[in-house]
Amino acid sequence: MIPLLLLWAQSLDPDTYSRGMQAANTGQWEEARREFLSGLQQFPLDKRFPIELAGIAYRDRDYRRARRYLSSALRLDRSDTYANDFLGTLYFLDSNYPAALKYWNRAGKPRIASVETVPPPPVRPVLLDRALAFAPGEILQQREYESTVAWIRSLESFGRFRIELAARPQEQFDAVLRWTPTSRWMEAAMGLRSVLLETVEYERSNIAGRAITSDTVYRWDAQKRRIFSEVSAPLHNDPRTRYRIYGDARSETWNIGAPADFRLQKAEAGAALRFLPSGRLSWELGARFADRKYAGDIPFASGFTAVSRAAAEYRLVNLPERGLSLDARAGLELGRFFTGSGHVYSRAQMALESRWKPTNHPKYEFAAVLGGGRILGTAPYDELFTPGRESDDRITLRGHSGVREGKKGVAPVAGQYAMANFDAFREVWNMPLAAVDVGPLLDIVRMGHQISGNSAGKLLVDAGIQARLRLTNGLSVAFSYARPVHGGSGGLFDSSLR
């Protein structure tokens, strides 16, 4: 409904709009622009002027300016069908399909004529069918598009993929799932990236076309021996629920500043169920069981433990027209020792993660993470929080190493932490098979209730530079070099992302 104030403003000088329309109808575009700009200044609450200015900008192929005018018009009247349809079309022309759907849905569009997969899907038909939240003949909603993307990603079988919209006559569209498979040699090559760290990894995806993934890691470093194996797959052929079963065995040497080292031997097994009801919400329930013992005279509790875990992640903000998102995630673990006093402990962690890839400057990308965690009770020593390049708790501190001479224990070990990570990238090279981004990084961590380490109460700040290699199959590898701002040696850090 148009506000009464807007109706009053429109009645003040009807000739301004009429003169602009007359000039546009006779092809006098500059004259029309001047009239509409004058009208916009005189009557800022009249949506007709920014809508007509958007049309002139579109004629001049200035799509950015056209989007800006249409956004102004929709701030005056969010339900305007013409402006929503026009703005959705502009985002469609930019291949920003989530943003296009956001505005098209307000205008009752787009209706899907068919659904295709190019090349043919690698998984069984029942898996792909259940991963699609929409069908031909229906209006494709933005939330259905987001859920479909999340469910296909959860199959871990399509490599890099995208759901595109292709226009057809009579305002109908084809939904086309385009994907790039990951070759076996590429999977093998990625597994060898840490061979200099005496570690190999082999991941096999989409076994037997059933979206089963297996991952095996073997590390033969004498100070940090490890063998890890995991299998995950959709439960009952449903992409919205995925189970994970794993086993992990470690034999690690630690030194926390004492005259002598001590050895940790640990065997662990666990399972988890991840639920994905929509593209914005997911949660996980799991349990793990571990038996650990220490070789050496140390005061840490050992023995058999059982831990239950619950975690959730939710997209708080999603602005595809700006390339901006904000996710919140939280996790809680409750554990118990079944030896000694049988005491109970808990671990809680939470974080906010924001990503921004400006649609007007697609070569740039920014990310920020704010998080924290706390442990209540006496947790096993190896489950306390440890920041650094080798952190298992996602406490990123890329200028600090938790290892010296191959032994763990150098990084602070504590029962509480707060952190902030900032990353920026700019694309510097783009070829058909790969692209390279570079940019600065900044990590800030403060540990509390510290048990070991010589930085108790200090603010740990690392700064550095990073490079990221993005492959067409969806895999990316990031390399960074960071140093502590307050002195100390830096280090090289690498991570593989999907």
Among the listed residues 99, 80, 10, 106, the one whose alpha carbon sits nearest the alpha carbon of residue 49: 10
Among the listed residues 439, 445, 455, the one whose alpha carbon sits nearest the alpha carbon of residue 389: 445
Helix (H) or strand (E) holding 43: none
Residue 263 identity (one-letter amino acid):
R
Give the total residue count for the chain. Answer: 498
Start and end residues for every CATH 1.25.40.10 domain found in the chain? 4-105
The model's pLDDT over 286-304, given as tens digits with 9 standing for 90+, comes to 999 999 988 766 777 788 9
Q: What are phi and psi of 386, to 5 degrees?
A: -135, 115
Answer whether residue 6 shows pLDDT above 50: no
Query: What does each C-alpha distance from 99 to 71, 353, 412, 480, 482 come to in angstroms?
Result: 12, 21, 44, 33, 36
CATH 3.40.50.1860 fits 111-180, yes or no: no
pLDDT for 274: 98
Start and end residues for every CATH 3.10.20.310 domain found in the chain? 111-180
Strand order in the sheet with 111-118: 111-118, 172-180, 160-168
Answer whether residue 162 shows pLDDT above 70: yes
Q: For the chain, what is the mean pLDDT?
A: 88
pLDDT for 494: 55
Among the listed residues 42, 34, 52, the one whose alpha carbon sits nearest the alpha carbon of residue 8: 42
The model's pLDDT over 89-127, given as tens digits with 9 standing for 90+, comes to 999 999 999 999 999 999 999 999 999 999 999 999 999
pLDDT for 491: 57
Q: Which one of 46-55, 375-384, 396-405 scores highest in mean pLDDT?
A: 46-55
Predicted structure pTM score: 0.88
CATH class of 4-105: mainly alpha
User: b vs e for 17-30, b when ≥16 Cβ sit within 10 Å of the residue's Cβ?
Assistant: bebbeebbeeeeee
Q: Which residue has the higher pLDDT, 254 or 336?
A: 336
Band (pLDDT 50/70/90 cuts) for residue 256 is: confident
Which residues lie below 8 Å from residue 324, measured CB to CB, with a gap of 6+?
A: 317, 318, 354, 355, 356
Q: Which residue has the higher pLDDT, 81 or 3?
A: 81
pLDDT for 202: 86
- Mean pLDDT of the 207-230 span: 93
